[in-house]
């Protein structure tokens, strides 16, 4: 085994989820996986990988399923960070996708981010803030959350209440909540202990951390763009250009 290959196969400290079907983005995604759709001049996946590299991550796992060969070919052209692919023959959902990649991931804590998102930084880069805020003694999960008010293209009811001590509480039966989950998180892999392999949502993992009082939130202080449809993509491009 070459030294270079040995380097790439060492456990990664971050994972990018890129296996979704991107149905709402059709017809753009009829022939292209959503993570490769360009926003502000380059694929959303590259925005995420570039920012991981800027934050000091030198190895990243990227899973793929729908049109996965296009994602594999795309990341193979990158020099930094080194990308390890985790192909999925069947769609495993977010939780199953992370669990499937655990042998390739760090045993202590892993930053996991969706591939199909775009944001602008606040005072400090989001990934750097997440790394600095994660406290393994008290946290099994740290989620990046963003205010519902002011998020571009977001029309949901919100996901969480952010409590005084930084812990999160689900919206539950409330009509709305002030913060939504961005798709960026740091997880302790032990949250997956005892879960049988298969397809399941990361919500199973979040519920474990919430039940143990070990799920915290960090509020993103920059802009967030929810890009789910071709129309939202065009509107986001206009807003980004204007800003």
Total number of residues shown for the chain: 243
DSSP 8-state symbol, 236: H
Range of the domain at 235: 3-242
Q: Is the pLDDT confidence value at 5 over 50?
A: no
Please check whether residue 19 is in contact with residue 66, taking contact to mean a CB–CB distance below 8 angstroms.
yes
> What CATH number corresponds to the domain at position 134?
3.90.550.10
> pLDDT tens for residues 163-182?
989 999 999 999 999 999 99
Say what the pTM is: 0.91
> Quick one: average pLDDT of 201-227?
94
How far is 185 from 16, CA to CA, in rounded Å? 11
The DSSP bridge pattern shows strands 14-17 and 215-219 to be: unpaired
> pLDDT tens for residues 43-87?
999 999 999 999 999 999 999 998 889 999 999 998 889 999 999
How far is 199 from 96, CA to CA, in rounded Å? 5
Cite the beta strand spans of 44-192 per DSSP E: 59-64, 82-87, 110-114, 118-119, 141-147, 160-162, 168-170, 179-187
Confidence of residue 3 (pLDDT cuts 50, 70, 90): very low
Q: Is the pLDDT confidence value at 117 over 60?
A: yes
Total structural domains in the chain?
1
């Amino acid at each position: 085994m070459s030294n270079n290959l040995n380097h790439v196969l060492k456990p990664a400290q971050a994972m990018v989820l890129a296996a979704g079907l991107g149905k709402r983005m059709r017809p753009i995604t009829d022939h292209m996986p959503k993570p490769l759709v360009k926003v502000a001049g380059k694929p959303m996946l590259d925005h995420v990988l570039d920012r991981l590299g800027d934050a000091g991550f030198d190895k990243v796992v990227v899973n793929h399923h729908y049109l996965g060969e296009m994602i594999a070919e795309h990341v193979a052209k990158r020099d930094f960070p080194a990308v390890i692919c985790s192909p999925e023959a069947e769609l495993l959902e977010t939780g199953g996708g992370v669990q499937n990649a655990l042998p390739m991931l760090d045993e202590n804590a892993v930053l996991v981010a969706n591939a199909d998102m775009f944001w602008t930084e606040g005072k400090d880069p989001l990934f750097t803030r997440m790394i600095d805020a994660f406290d393994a003694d008290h946290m099994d999960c740290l989620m990046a959350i963003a205010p519902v008010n002011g998020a571009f293209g977001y029309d949901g009811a919100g996901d969480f209440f952010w409590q005084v001590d930084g812990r999160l509480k689900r919206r539950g039966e409330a009509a709305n909540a002030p913060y939504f989950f961005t798709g960026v998180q740091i997880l302790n892999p032990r949250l997956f202990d005892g879960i049988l392999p298969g397809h399941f949502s990361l919500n199973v993992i979040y519920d474990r951390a919430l039940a143990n009082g070990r799920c915290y939130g960090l509020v993103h202080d920059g802009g967030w763009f929810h890009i789910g449809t071709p129309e939202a993509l065009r509107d986001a491009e206009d807003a980004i250009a204007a800003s």
